[in-house]
Amino acid sequence: MEQRLYLPYMRTSLVHIPRRDLVLAASDSLFLHVAVVESDDPTAQLVLISGGLGGPAMQLTFWPTGPYGWHDYGFTHPCPQPPLWSGAGTPDGNAPGSWDFHFASGTMLSWPRRMRWAVQLNYETASSEILAMGIVHVRHVGGGAYRLPDYPLLTDDSIPITTDDLQPLYG
């Protein structure tokens, strides 16, 4: 699966951090391309960032949500659990201000169904800024325990739709 995120460096509100939620299948591979644009404006261009020991860097981190961690939309608490995964992105040489993250197929098989994540931009040796955060929903597909029951398709009057031999159609 390939995902592209365009995150603003300058936001309209310094208090508001953009929220991006992701839905991923546990068995899929993931290629995540993160590009930093100048602002929230739809016509904003990619930002040219310099500085730091090896230049600017981007870090992606995933944490489990738990009874004492970050619970839900907009309701934040400190998260005492250690990160599930944290790593630096590979700078995209063709697009300055962009980084790539790659997860091999099956990387998320042991991860919980729901966790939080954040993208952090590191620059000028000791400066950093969270550009986005959100919730990741990991779908664990397969196995009898995860199969949803089949329900027949219904008309507007709640009458089951059937085939020519009067067998119900399932969606």
Residue with the larger pLDDT of the pair 171 and 38: 38
Residue 128 placed within a domain:
yes
Q: How much is the pLDDT for 149?
A: 52
Q: Kindly report, residue by residue over 85-143, the tens digit of the pLDDT.
A: 899 999 887 877 899 999 888 888 888 888 889 999 887 767 788 888 888 888 876 54
Number of domains observed in the structure of the chain: 1
Q: Are strands 57-64 and 85-88 parallel, antiparallel or unpaired?
A: antiparallel
Structure tokens at 7: 């995150």
Residue 171 placed within a domain:
no
Residue 70 placed within a domain:
yes
Residue 169 placed within a domain:
no
- The conformation of residue 113, written as its DSSP 8-state character, comes to S
Residue 45 placed within a domain:
yes
Q: 72-81, 110-119, 137-146, 158-167: which has the highest mean pLDDT?
A: 110-119
Domain residues for the domain of 6 are 2-146
CATH assignment at residue 103: 2.60.40
Mention every residue, 6+ apart, whose C-beta is less than 8 A from residue 148.
Answer: none
Dist. CA 154–CA 156, nearest whole Å: 7
Dist. CA 36–CA 33, nearest whole Å: 10
The pTM of the full predicted model, rounded to 2 decimals, is: 0.70
Residue 113 placed within a domain:
yes
Q: How much is the pLDDT for 59?
A: 92
Biggest distance spanned by C-alpha atoms of the chain:
72
Asked if 10 and 36 count as a contact pair (C-beta separation under 8 A), the reply is no
Structure tokens at 143: 């196995």
Dist. CA 12–CA 40, nearest whole Å: 7
Q: Are strands 85-88 and 90-91 parallel, antiparallel or unpaired?
A: unpaired
Dist. CA 122–CA 49, nearest whole Å: 10
Residue 21 placed within a domain:
yes
Dist. CA 96–CA 36, nearest whole Å: 9
Residue 152 placed within a domain:
no
Q: Kindly report, residue by residue over 18-70, the tens digit of the pLDDT.
A: 788 888 888 888 899 999 888 888 888 888 776 556 668 899 999 887 654 44
